[in-house]
């Protein structure tokens, strides 16, 4: 197996950078980012100091869910380029020593996929059973929020019932997202064979791994039983949020999904050194099972827990320690703080100072970090006027739920459309682009971008930070999270002040440490007791 200098597999020692292709760089002036745009910016990504990129979908798609509705798993949408462009992207990425991970959306296709067109054409079409069709239910069920006649009570994540009636054949089909995203029937072996082939298609083209979309949803309860009501559902949900009012008992995370994931892993293992990442939510004891019994499932089930714990030393430490304790010895941790579905981290955590602290946290914990494009500039949620909302979640469940806010164009410079495109982009550029952009930050010694570059550089050069062990250090300073990262050769301390006040932190056993990096980028003293400014974090090398 090809390993990195510190002899860990690449997916353990790398930092992943997520590119949302629509919003990264538009090379042909149509207002939408594309593969050639990404190629143009590969040097930027390499110089940032990450080792892998993950691309959200670029497949042919009617774009109802902006590419998460795939009409052909083995091609590139003309909006993004061509297969030749993709091959060039793979070559250029590898030539810079970076790995390339792509999105794979196994739970559902687009309703424009030829498989679904065939499936819906008649009840006896050979592909009928590739999707999940049910006749109208005759029982009247007053508890069914979606209404009578629906095969069960499930809701769509994007609002309304999870079933749509197809008058042509007189049956309903299941879709856990919008109705243009019908769920595949993974209990059908032909679906498995066909979908495994789509993985091989890209593996042969040289991709290093997949991020697998809502992988736990692929296998549903055999009998499609009703989900129980969620007693803790928020009373403020919009009326059509049926999904939010039910527990996810039968629509995902079924025990037999693990057999499927082992098979997917088998496909990856037909090739050298590839990596499987899964989008997975849910309680820790169930989540941890996705690593497999012996590491035979996913290399990295995405860990999103830090995104929503309270932004406090106690909240964050609690989440990290719980994860560390739950992982079997073979499992490697990972952390995600931002992605294309959640509010920008700088907005979520309360501002730029908090975002700097979060950057240090993310890049110094034990485990593979995933960064979301633009977070390295401190990009905040964009304002999208209600009439400009395009995200189906925002259109169906209300302005407050739109994910457009975190998908605004990358801010490269202060030219009219932030250097993203010469023409009006598909989503408005954020209002702060004239001051918050890559160009403005690149040579500023105190900028967020400089902080990310320094953090990434330090992580690369310091095995204790990249792959060392983790142990928390209990300190008396209120609202400070302090931990030790240790390798054979070195010992680092990371001290993070989550409070808006100054704090004094003493190093363990009265040892001295040299500050390697502060979130404020302005100090390098050697000391025993550190005075931390509000929301300041420091990384120290312990002496002796």
Contact set with ligand GLC (CB under 6 A): 65, 68, 105, 177, 213-214, 279, 340-341
Side-chain-side CA neighbours of residue 472 (13 Å): 18
In the complex, minimum distance from the CB of residue 159 to ligand GLC, in angstroms, rounded to a whole number: 13
Q: What are the Cα distances from residue 358, in Å, to 236, 254, 352? A: 30, 34, 10
Judged by beta carbon, residue 264 or residue 517, the one nearer ligand GLC is: 264
In the complex, minimum distance from the CB of residue 107 to ligand GLC, in angstroms, rounded to a whole number: 7
In the complex, minimum distance from the CB of residue 371 to ligand GLC, in angstroms, rounded to a whole number: 16
Judged by beta carbon, residue 34 or residue 391, the one nearer ligand GLC is: 391
Judged by beta carbon, residue 12 or residue 109, the one nearer ligand GLC is: 109
Q: Report the sign of the C-alpha dihedral through residues 318, 319, 320, 325, in that order.
A: positive
In the complex, minimum distance from the CB of residue 109 to ligand GLC, in angstroms, rounded to a whole number: 10
In the complex, minimum distance from the CB of residue 442 to ligand GLC, in angstroms, rounded to a whole number: 30
Judged by beta carbon, residue 68 or residue 172, the one nearer ligand GLC is: 68
Judged by beta carbon, residue 70 or residue 379, the one nearer ligand GLC is: 70
**Cα–Cα distance for residue pair 537/286, rounded to 1 Å:** 33
Quickly list DSSP for 135-173: PPP-S--TT-TT-TT-SS--B-TTSSBSEEEETTTTEEE
Set 26, 69, 213, 404: catalytic member: 213
Question: Which residues make Cβ contacts (< 8 Å) with residue 415, sequence separation at least 6?
Answer: none
**Cα–Cα distance for residue pair 151/224, rounded to 1 Å:** 8
Task: Indicate the burial class of 87 (C-beta count within 10 angstroms; 0-12, 13-18, 19 or more).
Answer: middle
Please identify which residue in the block is written with the tokens 């380029």.
Answer: 81
Judged by beta carbon, residue 107 or residue 169, the one nearer ligand GLC is: 107
In the complex, minimum distance from the CB of residue 391 to ligand GLC, in angstroms, rounded to a whole number: 8
Residue 541 Cα to chain centre, angstroms:
31
Side-chain-side CA neighbours of residue 543 (13 Å): 10
In the complex, minimum distance from the CB of residue 456 to ligand GLC, in angstroms, rounded to a whole number: 24
Judged by beta carbon, residue 157 or residue 357, the one nearer ligand GLC is: 157
The encoded tokens of residue 212 equal 């697998």
From its phi and psi, is residue 133 left (phi > 0), alpha (psi between -120 and 50) or beta? beta
| Spatial CA neighbour of 466 closest among 4, 2, 1 | 4
Set 180, 208, 279, 491: catalytic member: 279
In the complex, minimum distance from the CB of residue 270 to ligand GLC, in angstroms, rounded to a whole number: 26
Neighbours of 193 (CB within 10 A): 9
Q: For residue 205, report the phi and psi dihedrals to the nearest 5 degrees.
A: -80, -5
Output DSSP code: residue 403.
G
In the complex, minimum distance from the CB of residue 108 to ligand GLC, in angstroms, rounded to a whole number: 7
Q: Judge whether 213 counts as a catalytic residue.
A: yes
| Spatial CA neighbour of 414 closest among 435, 430, 431, 429 | 435
Judged by beta carbon, residue 56 or residue 319, the one nearer ligand GLC is: 56
Q: What are the Cα distances from residue 107, in Å, to 217, 219, 364? A: 6, 8, 33
Judged by beta carbon, residue 49 or residue 209, the one nearer ligand GLC is: 209
In the complex, minimum distance from the CB of residue 69 to ligand GLC, in angstroms, rounded to a whole number: 7
Contact yes or no for 468/511 (Cβ under 8 A):
no
Would you state the torsion angle of the CA atoms of residues 43, 369, 435, 537, taken in this order, to the nearest 10 degrees?
-130
Judged by beta carbon, residue 252 or residue 538, the one nearer ligand GLC is: 252
Contact yes or no for 40/28 (Cβ under 8 A):
no
> What is residue 209's three-state secondary structure?
strand
3-state secondary structure 444-470: CCCCHHHHHHHHHHHHHHCHHHHHCEE
Side-chain-side CA neighbours of residue 231 (13 Å): 0
**Shortest-Cβ-distance residue relative to ligand GLC:** 68
Pairing of strands 529-532, 368-372: unpaired
Q: Judge whether 47 counts as a catalytic residue.
A: no
Residues carrying an active site annotation? 213, 279
């Amino acid at each position: 197996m090809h390993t990195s200098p510190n002899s860990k597999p690449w997916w353990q020692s790398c930092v992943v950078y997520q590119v949302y292709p629509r919003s990264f760089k538009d090379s042909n002036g149509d207002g939408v980012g594309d593969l050639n745009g990404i190629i143009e910016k590969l040097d930027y990504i390499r110089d940032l100091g990450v080792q892998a990129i993950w691309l959200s979908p670029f497949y042919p798609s009617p774009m109802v869910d902006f590419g998460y509705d795939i009409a052909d798993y083995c091609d590139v949408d003309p909006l993004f380029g061509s297969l030749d462009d993709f091959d060039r992207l793979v070559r250029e990425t590898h030539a810079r020593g970076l790995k390339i991970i792509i999105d794979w959306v196994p739970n559902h296709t687009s309703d424009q996929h030829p498989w679904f067109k065939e499936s819906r054409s008649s009840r006896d079409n050979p592909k009928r059973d590739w999707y999940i069709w049910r006749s109208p239910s005759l029982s009247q069920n007053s508890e069914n929020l979606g209404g009578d006649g629906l095969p069960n009570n499930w809701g769509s994540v994007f609002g309304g019932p999870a079933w749509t009636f197809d008058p042509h054949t007189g049956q309903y089909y299941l879709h856990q997202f919008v109705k243009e995203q019908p769920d595949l029937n993974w209990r059908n072996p032909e679906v498995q064979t066909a979908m495994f082939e789509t993985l091989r298609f890209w593996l042969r083209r040289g991709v290093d791994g997949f991020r697998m979309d809502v992988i736990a949803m692929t296998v549903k309860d055999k009998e499609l039983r009703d989900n129980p009501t969620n007693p803790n559902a928020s009373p403020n949900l919009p009326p059509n949020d049926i999904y939010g009012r039910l527990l996810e008992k039968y629509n995902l995370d079924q025990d037999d999904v693990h057999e499927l994931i082992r098979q997917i892993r088998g496909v990856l293992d037909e090739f050298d050194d590839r990596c499987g990442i899964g989008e997975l939510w849910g309680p820790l004891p169930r989540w941890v099972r996705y690593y497999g019994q012996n590491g035979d499932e996913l290399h990295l089930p995405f860990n999103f827990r830090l995104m929503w714990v309270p932004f406090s030393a106690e909240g964050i430490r609690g989440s990290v320690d719980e994860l560390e304790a739950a992982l079997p010895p073979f499992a490697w941790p990972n952390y995600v703080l931002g992605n294309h579905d959640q509010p920008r981290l700088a907005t979520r955590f309360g501002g730029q100072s908090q975002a700097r602290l979060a950057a240090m946290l993310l890049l110094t914990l034990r485990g593979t970090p995933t960064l979301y494009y633009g977070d390295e500039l401190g990009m905040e949620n964009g304002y999208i006027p209600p009439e400009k909302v395009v995200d189906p979640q925002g259109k169906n469940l209300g302005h407050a739920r739109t994910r457009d806010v975190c998908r605004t164009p990358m801010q490269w410079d202060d030219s009219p459309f932030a250097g993203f495109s010469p023409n009006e982009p598909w989503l408005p550029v954020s209002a702060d682009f004239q001051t918050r952009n890559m160009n403005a930050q690149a040579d500023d010694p105190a900028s967020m971008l400089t902080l990310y570059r320094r953090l990434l550089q330090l992580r690369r050069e310091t095995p204790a930070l990249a792959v060392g062990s983790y142990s928390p250090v209990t300190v008396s300073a209120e609202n400070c999270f302090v931990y030790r990262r240790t390798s054979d050769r070195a010992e680092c301390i990371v001290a993070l002040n989550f409070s808006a006040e100054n704090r004094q932190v003493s190093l363990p056993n009265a040892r001295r440490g040299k500050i390697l990096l502060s979130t404020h980028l302005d100090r390098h003293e050697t000391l025993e007791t550190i005075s931390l400014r509000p929301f300041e974090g420091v990384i120290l090398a312990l002496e002796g």
